[in-house]
Chains A and B, each alone.
Chain A
Amino acid sequence: MLKLWAKWAAPIFVIGLLFYWPMAHVLQHGLTGSWADTLLEPAVLEAIWFTIWQAVLSALLCVAIGLPAAYVLYRRHSKHGRLIRALITVPFALPTIVTAIGFTVFQNNDAAAASGFGALLASPLFWIISAHVFVNFSVVVRTVGATWANLAHDTEEAAQLGGAGRFRIFWSISRPQLNNAIVSSLATVFLYCTASYGLILVLGGGLVNSIETEIAYAANQRLDLQEAGALAIVQTLLSIGAYMISSTGKRSAIGFEVQDSQAKQPKLDRRDWPAVAVASLATLLVLAPLALIVARAFLNNDGQATLDNFADLGGRGARNLLNITIAQAALNTLRNVLVATALATVVGVAVAYLLSRRTRSKSVRLVNTVLNIAFMLPLGVSTIVLGFGYLLTFGAGWFPLRSSWLIVPLIQGLMAIPLVVRIVYPALTSISEELGEQASTDGASPASAFFRIELPLVRESIGAAIGYAAIISIGEFGAASLLAYGSQATLPTVLYQLVSRPGGNNYGMAMAMSAIVIVLTFAVVFVASLPAKHRTAQRQR
Chain B
Amino acid sequence: MMGGLSACSEAGPKIVTIATHDSFLIPDELINKFHEQTGYSLEGVKVGDAGELTNKLVLTKDAPIADLFFGIDNTFAGVATKNGIVDGELTQIDYADVCFNYDKEWFAANGLMPPSSWQDLTLAAYEGLTVVENPATSSTGLAFMFSTIAKLGEPGWLSWWSAMKSNSIKIVDGWETAYYTEFSGAAGKGDYPIVLSYSSSPADEIGTDGQSRTAALTTNCFRQLEYAGVLKNAANPDGARAFIKFMLSPEFQAALPTSMYVYPVDKSVTLPTNWAKFAKPASTFVDVSELDFDKGRDKWLDQWRKLMSAG
Contact = CB atoms under 8 A, between A and B. Distances in A.
Contacts of B68: none
B51 A219 contact: no
A43 interface: yes
Contacts of B171: 205-207
Interface string B155-177: 00000000000000001111011
A286 B67 CA distance: 47
A301 B62 CA distance: 43
B52 A221 contact: yes
Contacts of B173: 205-206, 500
Interface in A309-364: 319-323
A502 B45 CA distance: 19
B176 A503 contact: yes
A80 interface: no
B311 A208 contact: yes
B298 A396 contact: no
Contact of A124 (B22, B63, B310): B310
Given A43-B305, A207-B171, A502 B176 contact: yes
A204 B310 contact: yes
A125 B43 contact: no
B308 interface: yes
A46 interface: yes
A46 B309 contact: yes
B267 interface: no
A503 B60 contact: no
Nearest to A224: B298
Contact of B179 (A321, A323, A503): A503
A221 B305 contact: no
Contacts of B180: 502-504
Nearest to B59: A391
A38 to B, nearest CB: 12
Nearest to B142: A221
Contacts of A99: none
B65 A485 contact: yes
A473 interface: no
B309 A207 contact: yes
Nearest to B66: A486
Contact of A205 (B48, B79, B172): B172
A162 interface: no
Contacts of B188: 301, 502-503
Contacts of A485: 45, 47, 56, 60, 65
Contact of A222 (B43, B48, B298, B308): B298
A500 B174 contact: yes
Contacts of A391: 59-60
A43 B310 contact: no
Nearest to A128: B310
B266 interface: no
A156 to B, nearest CB: 45
A245 B270 CA distance: 69
A456 interface: no
B23 A206 contact: no
Contacts of A322: 46
A221 B55 contact: yes
A400 B83 CA distance: 20
A204 B60 CA distance: 28
Contacts of A519: none
Contacts, number: 124
A208 B309 contact: yes
A320 B25 contact: yes
A219 B59 contact: yes
B181 A503 contact: yes
Contact of A220 (B52, B134, B179, B309): B52
Interface in B10-27: 17, 22-23, 25
A396 B62 contact: yes
B311 A504 contact: no
Interface in B28-53: 43-48, 51-52
B45 A486 contact: yes
Interface in A109-148: 123-125
B187 A504 contact: yes
A163 interface: no
Contacts of A208: 309-311
Contacts of B181: 502-503, 507
A402 B22 contact: no
A322 B46 CA distance: 7
B306 interface: yes
B102 to A, nearest CB: 19
B308 A323 contact: no
Nearest to B171: A207
A157 B223 CA distance: 78
B58 interface: yes
Contacts of A487: 43, 45
A166 interface: no
Contacts of B305: 43, 209
A499 to B, nearest CB: 9
B69 to A, nearest CB: 13
A219 B52 CA distance: 10
Contacts of A323: 44-46
A106 interface: no
Given A46-B309, A485-B47, A502-B177, A220 B65 contact: no
B63 A223 contact: no
B187 A503 contact: yes
A43 B311 CA distance: 11
A160 interface: no
Contacts of B23: 319
Interface string A204-220: 11111100000001011
Interface in B57-101: 58-63, 65-66, 79, 83
A219 B60 CA distance: 12
B8 to A, nearest CB: 19
Nearest to A222: B298
A323 B43 CA distance: 9
Contact of B17 (A205, A396, A486): A486
A504 B305 CA distance: 29
Nearest first, the 8 closest Cβ-Cβ pairs linking A and B are A503-B180, A486-B45, A396-B62, A207-B310, A395-B62, A206-B173, A501-B176, A403-B63
Interface of B: 17, 22-23, 25, 43-48, 51-52, 55-56, 58-63, 65-66, 79, 83, 134, 136-137, 171-174, 176-177, 179-181, 187-188, 298, 301-302, 305-306, 308-311
21 contacts: A50-B311, A124-B310, A125-B310, A206-B137, A206-B173, A207-B310, A209-B309, A220-B48, A222-B301, A301-B187, A301-B188, A321-B22, A395-B59, A396-B63, A485-B65, A500-B173, A500-B177, A502-B176, A503-B180, A504-B187, A507-B181
Given A208-B309, A301-B187, 17 more contacts: A204-B310, A205-B172, A205-B173, A206-B134, A206-B171, A220-B52, A221-B55, A319-B25, A323-B44, A395-B60, A396-B63, A485-B47, A486-B43, A487-B45, A503-B180, A504-B180, A506-B176
